Structure formats: C-alpha cells, structure tokens
Structure 1
C-alpha cells in the first residue's frame, strides 16, 4: 500500500465525513491551547521588526473540515490579542495548509474558508472599529511532511495536531503479525521493533526538514496521539486498532473476508511515549524543548457537543464514527467498499462492550519546540 496515495480522512460534508466526525480532534486542539498560546507569546516577544510586518504559519496535516480553520482561528486570535495588549500593529498573516494530495482541499477552500474569513473580519471590526481590516492569505500545500515543503527559513510558526503519529509507510518485517493490524499484545518483538524504527526515521526526517524551513527562533507546537507507558503494546495506545482487528477477525471466521487479506493489512501508525519523542528531538539537534506534556481524553466524553465535561449517551456510536472517518479509506483500499458498513457496525459493538467494563482513554503527547540551530 502506498501510504501517501491512500492515507486521508473521509472528505466532503456527509454523514461519515471527517468534517462531521472529528470531535476528538477538536477537543484536543482546545486542551492544548495554553501550550500553543505560550509558544506564540514567546515568539511575539522575541520577534524582530520583519516579523511584525508579516507572520508565516503552517498547519501540517491540516485535514479538512471545521477543525482545520478552527486551529488557525485560535492562533490568529491569540496574535490579535497580543497586538492589542501591546498596542502593536497587526502583521499580515500568510497561512499554509498542508496535507497529503488525497486530502479534501476543495471543501476547505470552497465551503469553509469564505465563512472563516467573514468571521475574522467581524472579529477585527469588533476590536478595532468598522474600518479595521485583516490581511490574511491562505495557501494549500499538498505533499508529505516527511520531506521539504517550504523555502529555507520562510516560516515563523509550525503547528500540527494529531498527524505525526501517522507513518510515511507500512514498516517492513510485519509478516509475523498475523491476526493483528497494528502492534498488539500478541505481536512478536520484531514487529514492535519495526514500528518503532519506522517512527524514528520518520520523526527525525520531519525535524530535519522543519529545522531548515523555520527562521531562527521560530516555534513548533506538535500534538501526537501517544502513550504514557514505555510499552508500545500497552492497551492505552493499542485498544482502538485491537478492537477493529477483532471485528475483522470475526468476519474472517464467517468467510466474509479472506484470512490472507487480513494478514496483509497493517495500520501505518505509531503512538510514541514522551521519552521517545524527547529522544528524537535531542538526537536531531535543531530544537530546544520548551514544554513536553501528556494529557488524556476519555472515550466516553467524545460527544456531539464538544464538551469534555459531558459523558456521551452513546460513546460507542460517536467514537466508531470518528474512527470510521479516519480509517475508512485505508480499509476500503485493502478490503473493498462492499464490507465497510459491516466492519464498522461490528467495531461499534466492540467499542461499546469495552466502554461498558472499562474507562479507556486516548493519550496525547504535546511538545513545544524552538529552533536553536
């Protein structure tokens, strides 16, 4: 499977689209806002005159749907508030939205961006009067962030949320992982090692490329789905794919899917620990670490109102739709479209069963970095 060609979230604005099923991702953006705000404040405080004239921001792995522009709205609003508090002139904003070529950029630019720009304009007029304007220029940048995307020293701030746990390719050497679609408790050591080594290569390449593209003193804020445990097969990071594998194995046992098909299906994903993230940053050498934190989101709180304090009435339903919006293109590409509804019906049942007996969570690793070399 060519990950670059297949890996993308469900596009459009339909029932199973990522735009309408990205509740978890939005909650994580809100949870990590204080770290983003601290990075932008530090960037603003240390900025030179050139920065005050123009600010270049990149969102890497932006996907499509309201979260894409929600993250950028938060960043721009922080900067507007900083300028207002210090009586500084607003910079022009150059915003680069990056994802793989299969991403639904059309929905972003045709349906979402006009309303976003309108809201920003209203916000500016509310703060600075009817004649106030905001110069904000948007660009779509299709391509893998495991390679160079921008000119040398052209960016001030790089932001990425829930993207860097996706790998550039399926690791080699997974033949012994039969019955599993990711790292599992039954995975042999060589499978776990293959996944970790692929993460090391990818994350190191990412840091190297971003180190070339950021100005000296520029910042990055990165959030990955991860784990607290040092054990890569820990339930805290593997349960989702384990339960999807259970659903697929059921269908194999009923003759709905060929066993060989299942054995050759693997998720291009790695959920690192904070220690693993820190190690790669220190080895690569372009960045200092300002902040490295871990947070959690309960599965049961992924509801339609985005309120992390409210327990969803049917968390299995909301969570299964969220997983489907992310994983469906991978599943369809490998198994075909005709089984997709049955796969996620069974996945929903597995999720609901797990949530009835346990209180599982998603673990987030967020890191704020400053370019120093």
Structure 2
C-alpha cells in the first residue's frame, strides 16, 4: 500500500469490552453447542468427538481493534465506529433462515468432525432451538460491525 493510502475495513465486532458478557455474538455458538450436546445425549454423536472438538473464537471490540492497529504500527486510525443492526428488522430473519446462516458458516467444520450423515439432524435441532428461543424472546436481536478507516504511515 502506498504512503498515506487508506483502507476501509468492516469486521464483525462486539459492543462490550468483556467478551463473556456480550450474548449476541456468542448466541450462534451457544445454539450449535446445545444442538450437538443433544445429539450426544441421544447417542447420535460419539461423546469423544464432542470432547475433542475445539474452535477458538474471539470477536474484537472497538478498543481491541484500535490497540492492534497501534501495536502493529503501519497504520493510523482515521475513523472507527460501531454499527449495530437489529436482526429482527431483517425481513428474512426467520428461525429457519438464521439456522441456515449458522450452517453456511460452519457446516464444513462440523461435518468433518461429526460426519456428513448427522448434518440434517443437527440443523433440525438448531432450528428447533432458535424457534423455541424466539417464542421465549431469547433470540439474538442485533449484530455488531466495526467500521474502521486506516491510513498507511509513510
């Protein structure tokens, strides 16, 4: 990148500084974990496969991004802000569409670990959990993105 060049990044983020308190960004993983645990309890997935399954996952906050930019040293931050989108306002935001979104992101990892033959049952359970959460008002209501404009230092 040329000196003084700009780069715009839009990345998945979180509002809270404490990653353990921001339920919205953990919700999809929580639902998936509950569905897989249910399959284990029904004997459809081997417990050893669940015990050996680990996906490190971290969503940055605005401060995390700013700190990383400073630490890396090649850019300055010209602009940074959060955008929160109310997912309930999205017209296609049905429990089924949310389950399909989860599936589209992680299916290859899940099928490699637990087997292709169990995929339909896992995502039927994911959909069932999301439907139930929706009835109870426990579903995710927003997604957060961080928009940052970086300027290349000379």
TM-score normalised by the chain length of structure 2: 0.89
Give the aligned partner of residue 291 of structure 1.
Answer: 79
Question: Tell me, what secondary structure is at the counterpart of 1:366?
Answer: strand
Instruction: Tell me which structure has the larger Cα radius of gyration.
Output: 1
1:233 maps to which of 6, 15, 20 = 20
More strand by share: 2
Question: 1:301 Cα deviation (Å)?
Answer: 3.2
**1:267 matches 2:55:** yes
Distance in structure 1 (CA, Å) of the matches to 2:72 and 2:60: 17
Contact 1:303 1:318 in 2 (8 A): no
The superposition leaves residues 220-249 of structure 1 with CA deviations (integer Å, 9 ceiling, x where unpaired) of 111221111111122122111011100000
Contact 1:320 1:347 in 2 (8 A): yes
Question: 1:268 Cα deviation (Å)?
Answer: 4.2
C-alpha spacing 1:266/1:302, structure 2 compared with 1 (3 Å): farther
Distance in structure 1 (CA, Å) of the matches to 2:121 and 2:79: 43
Structure 1 stretches lacking a partner, 5+ long:
1-213, 305-311
**1:340 matches 2:119:** yes
The superposition leaves residues 242-295 of structure 1 with CA deviations (integer Å, 9 ceiling, x where unpaired) of 111000000111111111211222234321111111101011111111111111
Distance in structure 2 (CA, Å) of the matches to 1:252 and 1:361: 30
Give the aligned partner of residue 254 of structure 1.
Answer: 42
**1:330 matches 2:109:** yes
Question: Tell me, what secondary structure is at the counterpart of 1:231?
Answer: coil
Question: 1:302 Cα deviation (Å)?
Answer: 3.7
**1:221 matches 2:8:** yes
Q: How many pairs were matched up?
A: 151
- Superposition CA RMSD, Å: 1.6
Which of structures 1 and 2 has the larger relative contact order (alpha carbons within 8 angstroms, sep 6+)? 2
Distance in structure 2 (CA, Å) of the matches to 1:322 and 1:236: 15
Distance in structure 2 (CA, Å) of the matches to 1:298 and 1:286: 34
Question: Tell me, what secondary structure is at the counterpart of 1:216?
Answer: coil
Give the aligned partner of residue 368 of structure 1.
Answer: 149
Contact 1:302 1:318 in 2 (8 A): no
Question: 1:367 Cα deviation (Å)?
Answer: 1.0
C-alpha spacing 1:355/1:338, structure 2 compared with 1 (3 Å): same
C-alpha spacing 1:353/1:299, structure 2 compared with 1 (3 Å): farther
Structure 2 stretches lacking a partner, 5+ long:
none
